[in-house]
Amino acid sequence: MTITLYSGPISYFARKSEIALGEKGLPFARIMVPFTQAEGYQPKHPDVLAANPKAQVPVLVDGDLTMFDSSLIFEYLEEAYPEPPLLPRDPKDRARCRMLELFGDEILLPAVRPIMHRSVPPTSAEQRHQEEEAGQRGEAVLLDHYGTLEDRIGAAGYLSGAFSIADIGVFMAVTFSLRLKGPRLDGHPKLAAWYARVAGRPAVAKVVDDLYAADRVLSPALYS
């Protein structure tokens, strides 16, 4: 039975789930929930409303199981489809890996949010000035975090041994920063090499190409 994933064109968390499915080599049917910068995901997709009390994508359906939350989807895929693994074998290493994935969602992404205004046209020059002041503070925080991540990259070139959910989570957060014209990785050569390495993986590249194709239509302010 084919897995179904309800995704969104520029959904951070849904795109993470797409990468995990691709890395696992799992065929899936994708239902792309409509989105616009003006209305967001309104009206909410009825299947998403029924499945997720937060009314957000991603929602994954596998047989009689319907679930939401990208981190929980990672955990389910790892248990139900363990090969190839996206978590280390050792329990302590697994915990460290999960914390790094959480770092992407709960530490990096909040620092990206102050620059998300760049994806929509400003309503006024004064508003954009205020937004950019907050954005510059967010960028300074991001650069501090990039320094922390620079020290986390291991001998294998990834964040937690072999390629893992840690790389997916952090990669997506950095990708969102870069698409929003956030700080570049030039001053962090190990992190820049890691980013290029992850971006070159076929499952990742497919999702990133699709994300940017949607973004050019939905967020023209970033490309003008």
DSSP category for residue 119: G
Looking at residue 42, which CATH number applies to its domain?
Answer: 3.40.30.10
The answer to whether 72 and 88 are in contact (CB under 8 A) is: no
pLDDT at 213: 96
Number of domains in the chain: 2
Q: Is residue 213 part of a domain?
A: no
**Which of the listed residues 80, 109, 127 is the one where a domain comes to its end?**
80
pLDDT tens for each residue of 185-205: 999 999 999 999 999 999 999
Same domain, 97 and 185: yes
Q: Cα(156)–Cα(166) distance, rounded to whole angstroms?
A: 14
Answer whether residue 141 shows pLDDT above 70.
Answer: yes
Mean pLDDT across the chain: 95
Q: Is residue 206 part of a domain?
A: no
Same domain, 13 and 72: yes
pLDDT tens for each residue of 30-86: 999 999 888 888 888 999 999 999 999 999 999 999 999 999 999 999 999 999 999
By C-alpha distance, which of 97, 103, 188 is closest to 147?
188
pLDDT at 41: 87
7, two tokens: 């995704």
Q: Cα(13)–Cα(183) distance, rounded to whole angstroms?
A: 21
Give the domain range for residue 59. Answer: 3-80
Q: Is residue 217 part of a domain?
A: no
Same domain, 141 and 66: no
